[in-house]
Structures are given as structure tokens and as C-alpha cells.
Structure 1
């Protein structure tokens, strides 16, 4: 049998996981000498490359000193925690990567807690020691305290530590720069245990899935007991204790960045099984004659929900390929198969679905992926999920960490406390102030953009779900009203220039608008309906070419997440492959006024 080590790399977002995986790939010569590879090799999804984050966990395998190392690159963002929780089951050890300046962050705590619970052997890697103001020794002490607070065993507390820089391509057991990353690779062989092979009948839990248009659905997981061969008849243990018999058509193991077809896989290795279609993540492959299913993974509950409905604006169907409620339903059901932290619920309206997720980023990545695939839809305001526990109304709370230059700290504290946040820790880290808050999840919606504005873009903010606590009362929403288009047509420079003293615009001259669409933000509270499609009346005295186009301020560009955080309960976002437009749910002005009067009378 081949020597195998299964290791997951966990870290807070932006601490350098994917760059470290790049270095491991290069150090073990997966690529030929003359082969172009680029950077961030594992982030092969367009969205991941654009945002610079890992969204989907991925497997690669490298061979070092005759030992096969299966490396699992995991997401670092709290919204994708469901992805991390399940893939850790394939690992026997974890590399905990920590930034030498920032130290352990909220997400570090979350993923480390899951890894320690599973009894995985940790290796701590303190990255970016080449950064100015870094404090590796202090960060090492903080990591030790974190392990201690998470009830690590004595064996886990005795973790090996490596220092270095993924970017510069070296790691060492001391702060002395090494020639390359071989000390870390040697450390993996030394400290990560070989995969525990148990005696008994076949057991393999499905922890992630893949899809191929040729092979269909592919189940991926680690074999904990027994072995699987091609053409073997095995059982699939589903939820509710049902066992389905099926035949293994093809079998693959990970090799380099791809997969290699094999005849048989032994316990301890990670493999991909083809031949079953009706499986879900969490099911397990077992011996059909003597089935012993594995316990299913429990995933943390969602904390936000949003309505997804068909696009019913006047521009319906102009831009997208998939526009009906059936298209929407099928796509959301397909997403449920692999996105464990997601839930979908049908509402009373056949064209509207309630989608539950882990956070704004989790849901916005789904929406962004769908619009790139050609879907059109209307998205409602994100709502936090409230619960009733022992007769008391409870809401989700998050622990939020903000690192900000000292001169902006008071603004950050002010913004957080307005949104019912409580400051627990305030300390100085180099030139930065480190602030830790406990804040209701509702208070986070729209907070990031406000905080970046107030701190000239300097604030670094991270948060993660902590627990449900008593409801804290109303939180102030957006203070300014919006400018709403009165008529359909093309915005004109003449009208926009005349209305600039009323607010800031989200559209440029020449853009198509429709009645009820939000075209800007007013300077004061309350909504204002404006006519931005009115052209200049031409007569003998007025020439067409004398408009003062140069005086128009450029429009405010808003990303999908910023729009999601900006809209109020009576507003929605129209999402199509090429456009993101904010609008009122009720487009006609008269109908909006009637609805307001009815709401007041109730």
C-alpha cells in the first residue's frame, strides 16, 4: 500500500491559503519545466479569481518522498462554513494558516474548533512574516491561547509551528529564511498521521460532489474502511436508513490537479465514484450485505433569507435566457444538491421562492453565478431569521472584528453602537486599533459600506455567527430616501443635470430606465419621483448641442452585495445577465400611494 497523508488547509479569508497551495504544487513539480501555470491555480472559477476568495473546496494530490499527499484547499469566509465542515472529514491533519500581522480572526476560530472536534492533528503556519509591522512571536502566543480556549487536547496543544512567506516561497521552523518550502513538506510527513485504516466492511462518506456531462454525478469522499473496486456491487445508505444497491461504473483517485482512473481504491485514500445518481452529500457507501452507515454531518443552520422571484419589470426577457418560474425552481433545486448550507421554500405565490443562506456573501455568490448562466430574477431585501425559544423572541448575533487606523476608531465604534453592537475588546496592534464587538446579524446589513466610507476604505472587517440571543429592538435603516423614475425611456443629460442638487444618481445619461426604477439617492429622507427622460425643447433660439454634459457627476457604481445591503423592505433588485437595477416592488406611483394608505389604516 502507498503511504498517504490527507491534509486540509484552513485559515481566515485572505491569509494566503491558495498561494501556499500554489507553492506546494510548484515544489513537487506537478508542472513540466516549460509549462505555464499562472497564480492562484486552485481558484479556477471566474468568480473566485475576480473576488480573490476561495468559494468551493478543492482537492489536489502531490507526491513527495514517495508519499502521496492529498491537499484540500478550503474556503476562508464564514458564509461558506458548511463547505469547510464537511470536507474536514476527509482529512487526518490540518494546516492552520495565520497572518503574522492580523493573528487569529473570527473565521480562524470557527474552522479550528471544527477541526479540533474531529480530533485532527494541527500544524500551525505563520504566514507573511515579510510584511512590515508583523509580530510572529505575539501571534504564536495568541494561537496557543486560542487552542487552549477551544479545549484542545494536550497532544493538540503541542503543535509544531512553521514561519515563512507563501509569496516569497519559503517556510522554516524558525524565523530564519529557508531556501524553499521543503521544511514544511517534511513537517507534513513527520506530524500528520497516516490515514487510520479500520478493520471491517466498506465505509465511505460522501463529502462533496462533482458533475461531468459524460459521466453524470460523481461522489467524492475518503474510504475509512474496506476497499472499492470497479464493477463492484455496493450499497448506498441514504437518509432515513434506506439502502440502495448499485454498481460502481468507474473509479478515480486524485493525481496532480486532475483525476486518474483506477481499478481499486484502498481505505485511507480520497476517491471519486461514478455510477450512482440518487445520492446526497452526507450519504455513505457501505457493504450491501452487512451495511453499517456512517453518522451524517450536521450543518449549522442558515441565518438569513431572501425572496427569489421571476423578473416582472417592463424589461422582462430582454437580456436573459432563463426567465420563467420553472427555470428558477429547477436551478435552485440543482443548487441544493451541492450547497449544504442553503434551504429553499415555496411561498404562496407560485413565482416566488424563499431562499435561506449563511450570509449576504453566500447568497450573492449564488445570484452572481445564476446571472452569469443567463437567469433573470427579482431579489427581495435580506431578512434575518428570528426564532422563538422558551416563549422569547430571539435573533442571531455575530462576533465582529474590525482593524482600523487609530484616528478612525471612534467612527467605527459609533457606527457599530448605533446598530446595537456592544464593544468587548479594544487593543492596539502596531499602528492599528483592534476592536471586537458582539452585534445582531441585522446590524451587519449595510454596515460594511458605511464603515468603509467613514474610514476612507481603511477598515478591515470580519464577522461570524456566534449564537441566538434576545431580540434587541429596532435598528435604524437607511437615512436617505431614493429618487424614483417617473417614466420609461432613456435618461437625458439635460434632465439629470437639472436634478443634481436633489441627490446622487445611479444611472448615466443614455441608460434605459422604467417607471418605478430607483435611479439615485435623495439628499434627505423620503422618496422623490423624478422625470429623467425629458429632453430639451428645441426651437429657433435653442441649439441641440449646447447641453452642459461636463457638469454631470459620474454615477455611483454599486456591486450586487452593496445593492442587497442598500434596499429597504418595499424595494427589490432586478438581476439579469448584464444589468443590476434597484426598483420599487410596486412600480406604479398611484399603486404605491394606495398601498401606503392601506398600511397606515391597518
Structure 2
């Protein structure tokens, strides 16, 4: 739906690899100066309003030395070091504070400055008790800007210390104190994240904006050297006017025409409601209204059904009445009976039982989830047993072992895959799935108790 006028724009050609930009691709230049000149010539300068100071806090940072740092763009006026300002809060109250230091952003770092003009983005230290959307204004004539809101968390996960038999082998930070301090530090700058303690000292409920939001935190922590375990993601329900409500999201999928039927089928199975279906170039553009619960595990299924050609994104829409039960994972788990190294011989003999996530030589422990059962129940298997060695030879007993390659999961896929009686063990080097209760008798006892 583009207009002819939209085609009239200044064009430059260049190569990042060879470090040049220019008006003619046939004649490479020796620098990127033509690009910088074109920016000055063709892109309009920022519009600056005249008047007293106005700056909305749109982001946060945190430093161990100065505490919380407010970041935003100065919309009007100027802000200076040691200047007294008024902080306009969400409840309408106004607090007087003083700016300690000002920094502007240059390259990948920050520069300490005395004054920041309207139109520039800056970081202010010295402010206390501020939130996203608050306005830094003139102390004599405070005028708040319209507030920006942050989406509420829609999902929570249980974070707990690693108590598996491989505890402490790979990570540096493994205790509940390490885990608590790291999560509390994250809440200082991660706005949509909330952390709540539970009845146990080593378990925390972490609320976030979805699987991706929580997985970024988990991935960052494992790279920093933390060991932890997480439970199955749970959607946050609310009671509105006496009715149980759940978060509903708008799901947008762009997919090739021939695969659109599969995507619609998968989404509708998870209580998705098709709103828009229209062609978009070579692709089919689909829009659904779907519960957040239905999105857990959907991405993996859609990518498999469309051979990786689907483009998906989703955004929180509203809380609506509960849509009913959604079918989860149908297949049960294959669970390791013993600890130790698994053997190729044992895996080969058990291949008809399901798909394995491990390969010969992997070190396992009792209760670890090592595969997906071909049926709906869990099955405990012995993958440590070796071939009986005798000095007798019989035809047919020495066939070569042929093992299918193991199924590998990314962090998000593993988080979506686990059941409610399973944990995901995360260490700097490995991601393992396990049963919460490693002992089979204890698992059976707990299952009866729940039933």
C-alpha cells in the first residue's frame, strides 16, 4: 500500500566490510563521510520546545556505587549538575530533589557533562524513589508529561537452588543467598520483573512478561556462573468482577500460503480465535486472539509444521474470562533408572520406546529425564547396562549399533517442554531436565497423594 511519493528518497550505497559509503555503487569511496553528510542534509533536526524543564524517565540503570540511574530524553529546557528539580509522581505528588551528576551517551560509553540541552538523551544520578513514566520538571513550575505505562507480568516461574546430584560441579554461585541477591539486583533495572519469596528460603517466584523475558534472565545468570533450577512456567490468573480471568495476547503469524492451514489448526487447538487472514506479498498474514497459556510450546510446533518458515510475534492484549482447558504435552518422559555413563548398546535396545535427548557417554543421575516416551505415561529405563561379554560368538549378536541422533533443546524450548512435576536444571555448561522427586517410589507416593 505504498504511494509513489514514498519512492522518492535519497539513496546511498556502501559496504560495511570494506568501510565505505557513496552515491554510486560503481565508484567506491574511501570513507563513510558521504553518509554522515547525507544525514545532516536530508534528515530534519530534532524539534525542540521552548520553555521550562521537562524530561520523562523512560528507562533505568543501576550501579553498585551510585544506586538507581534515571534515563530519558530532555523534551524541553535544560538540566544541569546540582540543579534542584521537581519529580512528578504517578499519584500526582511532587517531590523536590537535586541532580548529582549528568551523563550523555557516546559510542558504547557515557560522558560526564555539566549541562544537557533539550533533544538529548541523558542519565541522571542522585534521584530517589522514581519510576518509569515520572517527569523531571522545573522546581518553580512543574508540568508532568502524559505517563507511559508498562505491561503487567503475565507469567511466573519458580526459581530454586540446584539440589541435583551434580550440584556445584560447574557453577560458581550456587547458594540461596547468591540466587536471592542476583534476583533482587535484577529488579532494580528490569522493570516488568517481580520477585516474591515463598514459604521456603531457597525458592522464589519470579514474575515476567512471558517465556522470552524470563529466559533472557536465566541465560544471563548461567553465563555469569550461576547454577539454578526452574519449574514449569505458569500463567497469572486474576479475579475480575467475581469471574476468573486470564491474560489474552494478540498473535501475528506470517507464513507461506501452503502452511497457513497447519498454523490455524495449531492455534485453534489452543483456544486461538482467528481475527484476520489476508495475503501479504508471497505470505499469508494471520492474526489471532489467544490465551497466554496457549502460547507455551506453540512456537516449536509452528516452526516444525511450517519447516521453519513462519514468522511469529505476540503482544499482551487484555485479561478476559477463562477459556477452558488447553491440551498440553501428550507424551510422557523416559527417566534414567540409575546414575553413571549411558552406553550405546542400552540406548540402541530402547530406541523403539521413544526419542532420546542424550548420547552415549553422557553422565546421568537417577531421576533425570533423558527422552520422550512414545506413550502418554512416564517410563523408567536403564541406559547404563553394557553388553554381556563372553568368549562365545553367535551370528547376528554382533550387529553394529545404529542410534538416531539425540533431540536437542534450546533454553526456551526446554522451558516450554517440561511438565509440572519436572524441573529444568541450568548450569553454565548444561541444561538438563529432571523429575522434582528423583526417587521413583517417592514420585509414586506424591502422585497418589495428589490424586
TM-score scaled by length of structure 1: 0.65
- SS of aligned partner of 2:43: helix
Question: What is aligned with 2:43?
Answer: 188
Question: What is aligned with 1:456?
Answer: 307
Q: CA, structure 1 residues 298+429, in 2 after alignment: closer, same or farther (shift >3 Å)?
A: closer
Question: What is aligned with 2:174?
Answer: 323
Q: CA deviation at 1:228?
A: 3.0
Question: What is aligned with 2:199?
Answer: 348
Gaps of at least 5 residues in structure 2 are: 16-21, 25-33
Q: CA, structure 1 residues 164+302, in 2 after alignment: closer, same or farther (shift >3 Å)?
A: farther
**Structure-1 separation of matches of 2:154 and 2:279:** 32
8 Å CA contact 1:280, 1:337 repeated in 2: no
8 Å CA contact 1:493, 1:549 repeated in 2: no
Which residue among 358, 374, 392 is the counterpart of 1:507?
Answer: 358
Residues 1:381 and 2:236 aligned together: no
| 1:81-123 Cα deviation digits (max 9, x unpaired) | xxxxxxxxxxxxxxxxxxxxxxxxxxxxxxxxxxxxxxxxxxx
The number of residue pairs the alignment matches comes to 431
Residues 1:392 and 2:247 aligned together: no
8 Å CA contact 2:158, 2:230 repeated in 1: yes
**Structure-2 separation of matches of 1:549 and 1:309:** 43
Range with greater deviation from structure 2 (442-451 or 224-233): 224-233
* Runs of 4+ with >4 A deviation: 160-170, 177-187, 211-217, 231-242, 244-247, 275-296, 546-550
8 Å CA contact 1:403, 1:459 repeated in 2: yes
| Structure number with higher helix proportion | 1
**Structure-2 separation of matches of 1:196 and 1:548:** 81
Q: CA, structure 1 residues 265+586, in 2 after alignment: closer, same or farther (shift >3 Å)?
A: same
8 Å CA contact 1:197, 1:268 repeated in 2: no
Question: What is aligned with 2:214?
Answer: 363
Question: What is aligned with 1:303?
Answer: 154
Q: CA, structure 1 residues 280+434, in 2 after alignment: closer, same or farther (shift >3 Å)?
A: closer
Q: CA, structure 1 residues 491+409, in 2 after alignment: closer, same or farther (shift >3 Å)?
A: same
8 Å CA contact 2:62, 2:188 repeated in 1: no
Question: What is aligned with 1:441?
Answer: 292
| 1:502-535 Cα deviation digits (max 9, x unpaired) | 1111111111111111100111211100111122
Q: CA, structure 1 residues 225+550, in 2 after alignment: closer, same or farther (shift >3 Å)?
A: same
**Structure-2 separation of matches of 1:525 and 1:168:** 57
8 Å CA contact 2:11, 2:23 repeated in 1: no
Question: What is aligned with 1:262?
Answer: 113
Q: CA deviation at 1:363?
A: 0.8
8 Å CA contact 2:337, 2:382 repeated in 1: yes
8 Å CA contact 2:68, 2:188 repeated in 1: no
RMSD: 3.2
- SS of aligned partner of 1:272: strand
Q: CA deviation at 1:288?
A: 6.2
Q: CA, structure 1 residues 233+384, in 2 after alignment: closer, same or farther (shift >3 Å)?
A: same
Q: CA, structure 1 residues 293+414, in 2 after alignment: closer, same or farther (shift >3 Å)?
A: closer
Q: CA, structure 1 residues 211+542, in 2 after alignment: closer, same or farther (shift >3 Å)?
A: farther
Q: CA deviation at 1:242?
A: 7.5
Matches within 5 A, 1:64-463: 138=1, 140=2, 161=6, 186-189=41-44, 194-199=47-52, 202-211=53-62, 218-232=69-83, 241=93, 243=95, 245-246=97-98, 248=100, 250-275=101-126, 280-285=131-136, 297-463=148-314
Question: What is aligned with 1:125?
Answer: none
Question: What is aligned with 1:595?
Answer: 446
Range with greater deviation from structure 2 (304-313 or 435-444): 435-444
| 1:104-147 Cα deviation digits (max 9, x unpaired) | xxxxxxxxxxxxxxxxxxxxxxxxxxxxxxxxxx2x37xxxxxx
Point out the structure with max Rg over C-alpha.
2
**Structure-2 separation of matches of 1:323 and 1:379:** 14
**Structure-2 separation of matches of 1:416 and 1:445:** 11
